[in-house]
Amino acid sequence: MSEILNIEEIRKDYPILERTVAGKPLIYLDNAATSQVPRCVVEGIEQMYYHSKANVHRGVHTLSQEATDMVEATREKVRQYIGAESIEEIVFTRGTTEAINLVASSYGERLCNGDEIIVTAMEHHANIVPWQLLQRRKRIRLNVVPINDAGEVDMAAFERMIGDDTRLVSIAHVSNVLGTINPVKEMIAIAHSHGIPVLVDGAQAVAHMKVDVRDLDADFYAFSAHKMYGPSGVGVLYGKKKFLESMPPYQGGGEMIGTVSFEKTTFADLPFKFEAGTPDFVGIAAFSRAIDYILGLGLENISAYEHRLLQAATEGLMQIPGMRIFGTAADKDAVLSFLVGNVSSYDIGLLLDKLGVAVRTGHHCAQPLMHRLGIEGTVRASFAVYNTMEEVEQFVAATARVAKMFGYK
Residues labelled catalytic? 365
Contacts by 131-138 with C-beta closer than 8 Å and gap 24+?
A: 131/104, 131/170, 133/104, 134/104, 134/105, 134/108, 137/108, 138/108, 138/111, 138/112, 138/113
At 331, is the secondary structure helix, strand, or coil?
A: coil
Q: Which of 83, 35, 146 is nearest to 371 (CA)?
A: 146
- φ and ψ at 102, to 5 degrees? -60, -45
At 336, is the secondary structure helix, strand, or coil?
A: strand
The helix (run of H) or strand (run of E) holding residue 392 is helix 389-405
Which amino acid is residue 87, in one-letter code?
I
- CB 274 within 8 Å of CB 284: no
Q: Which of 283, 294, 280, 291 is nearest to 47 (CA)?
A: 283
The helix (run of H) or strand (run of E) holding residue 24 is strand 24-25
Cα distance between residue 388 and residue 306, in whole Å:
9
Q: Which of 202, 387, 203, 210 is nearest to 305 (CA)?
A: 387
- CB 226 within 8 Å of CB 203: no
328 contact partners, CB below 8 Å, separation of at least 6 = 150, 151
CA dihedral 129, 134, 137, 143 (to 10 degrees): -90
- CB 54 within 8 Å of CB 61: yes
Cα distance between residue 348 and residue 359, in whole Å:
9
